[in-house]
Amino acid sequence: MNKLENRGKKVLSPVLARYHAGFSVAKARGSYVYDDQGKKYLDFATGIACDILGHCHPKVVSAAKKQLDRLIHACVGVALYEPYVKLAEELRKIVPIKKAQSFFCQSGAEAVEAAIKLAKFASKKPGIIAFQGGFHGRTLGALSVTTSKMKYREGYEPLLPEVYIAPFDLLLVEGLLKENDWKIGGVIIEPVLGEGGYVVPPSGFLKGVRALCDKYNTLLIVDEVQTGMGHTGKWLACEHEGIVPDILVLAKGLASGLPLGACVASQELMAKWSPGAHGSTFGGNPVCCAAAIATIETIKKEKLLANTAKLGRYLMNELSKLKASFPLVKELRGLGLLIGVDLGNSAAARKVIDLCLAHGLLLISTGKDGSVVRFIPPLNVSKKEIDLALKIFGAALRDV
């Protein structure tokens, strides 16, 4: 065990589960991280889909440094500042919601909390429908709509009341809504199940949910914490289905790894959330907002949505070839550069991921039992880097 592990073992809560016990990182740049021995790893885990421009992108670093020199914190409740407003203006340009307004917080779970509170407050109905296998965060409200792993809930129940967990079956969702529409204020869904194993719902499913929300006068909350900000080749995964959420939840890649979450809805809906009904001391920190503005600008300038779509197709295609050669690979799923390789076997996935790490490729698993290996490189990854990852991953499949 290295020195850092030893020190950590003494002072860190054991509640922190880690994908790679014994692995630590000292610095990072672009698509690579370096451990404290200086060993280089190609990073296809990106801090769980956060480092969407790779590590320490110069534009993000420069914007954050400039902001650090100007204003670190004011609390938007105390004084408004430029980056908070500018980021909301930039989001309005890229989200499909008309006249979008934003509330900023610091994490995905917090953004989900905000979305649930907005849905309840605005609809005056307490109930929320969520989907089997969904993950929305660890705080008590977000946990109440999370079922990707039941161990996340153990020891904390009872959670929020009036939460209904639905299967991916439109008839059953309609049945739930029909019986309970008087008390269902919102339906929350991930457009691609993230922690649930990178499962893309059947084509038309999101459209069907949108139509049901309209029919039963319920707000549709789309949680794009993992899928948003370009990972699927479009700004938002829900755009692939052409649907418009009532409430949109963003975090992770929003500020390229700085902690920032957003709850976004139309001006009309936000008008129902009265001043003081929600708030945050640190939410929408100036440095994080400056990093997010630089992130959006860079995605546009460097045409990274197109890069993601193109290299996502390439990666999926090459993975299909590996699937054809290795029966260990059961299924490939995903959109853009958010791809899950389902090995259907958690021990094998563990072995493959460990072998990849030993050979310089950082990957993590997902899914109920961790049997899915996920590929979430940065949006500006190169074909050469993808080829290197495929080479290491292919060799690991062969060895397991």
Query: Is there a catalytic annotation at residue 44?
Result: no
Residues 12-31, one symbol each (x = binds ligand PLP by CB under 6 A, - = not), give --------------------
Residues 105-144, one symbol each (x = binds ligand PLP by CB under 6 A, - = not), give --xxx--x----------------------xxx-------
Least distance to ligand PLP, CB of residue 194, Å: 4
Least distance to ligand PLP, CB of residue 225, Å: 3
Name 303's Cβ contacts closer than 8 Å, sequence gap at least 6: none
Q: Is 51 in the site for ligand PLP (CB under 6 A)?
A: no
Q: Which is nearer to ligand PLP, 251 or 316 (CB)?
A: 251
Q: Which of 271, 337, 346, 276 is nearest to 308 (CA)?
A: 337
Distance in angstroms (rounded) separating the CA atoms of residues 113 and 196: 19
Of all helices (H) and strands (E), which one includes residue 220?
strand 219-223
Which member of 33, 143, 166, 225 binds ligand PLP (CB under 6 A)? 225
Least distance to ligand PLP, CB of residue 223, Å: 5
Query: Is there a catalytic annotation at residue 207?
Result: no
Residue span binding ligand PLP (CB under 6 A) among the ranges 80-88, 153-161, 172-180, 187-195: 187-195
Please identify the residue of the shown chain whose CB is closest to the bound ligand PLP.
108
Which member of 186, 194, 253, 283 binds ligand PLP (CB under 6 A)? 194
Residue span binding ligand PLP (CB under 6 A) among the ranges 223-231, 310-318, 330-338, 363-371: 223-231
Q: Which is nearer to ligand PLP, 30 or 284 (CB)?
A: 284
Which residue is catalytic, options 35, 223, 246, 342? 223
Q: CA dist 148 to 57, 136, 165, 193, 209, Å?
A: 32, 9, 11, 9, 20
Which residue is catalytic, options 104, 135, 205, 375? 135
Cα 32 to chain centroid distance, Å, stands at 20
Query: Is there a catalytic annotation at residue 223?
Result: yes
Q: CA dist 397 to 130, 324, 343, 354, Å?
A: 35, 12, 10, 11
Which member of 123, 226, 308, 366 binds ligand PLP (CB under 6 A)? 226
- Asked if 175 and 216 count as a contact pair (C-beta separation under 8 A), the reply is no
Q: Which of 226, 180, 162, 230 is nearest to 200 (CA)?
A: 226
Which member of 113, 190, 246, 342 binds ligand PLP (CB under 6 A)? 190
Question: Which residues face 101 on adjacent strands?
Answer: 265
- Restricted to residues 260-299, the positions that interact with ligand PLP (CB under 6 A) are none
Q: What strands lie across the sheet with 27-29, from one edge to the other?
A: 27-29, 32-34, 40-43, 361-362
- Asked if 55 and 295 count as a contact pair (C-beta separation under 8 A), the reply is no
Indicate the angle between helix axes 304-325 and 383-399, nearest 10 degrees. Answer: 20
> What is the DSSP code string of 93-138?
HHSSSTTEEEEEESSHHHHHHHHHHHHHHHHT--EEEEETT----S
Which residue is catalytic, options 252, 323, 375, 393? 252
Q: Is 232 in the site for ligand PLP (CB under 6 A)?
A: no
| Chain residues that interact with ligand PLP, rule: CB under 6 A | 48, 107-109, 112, 135-137, 190, 194-195, 223, 225-226, 251
Residues with a known catalytic role: 135, 223, 252
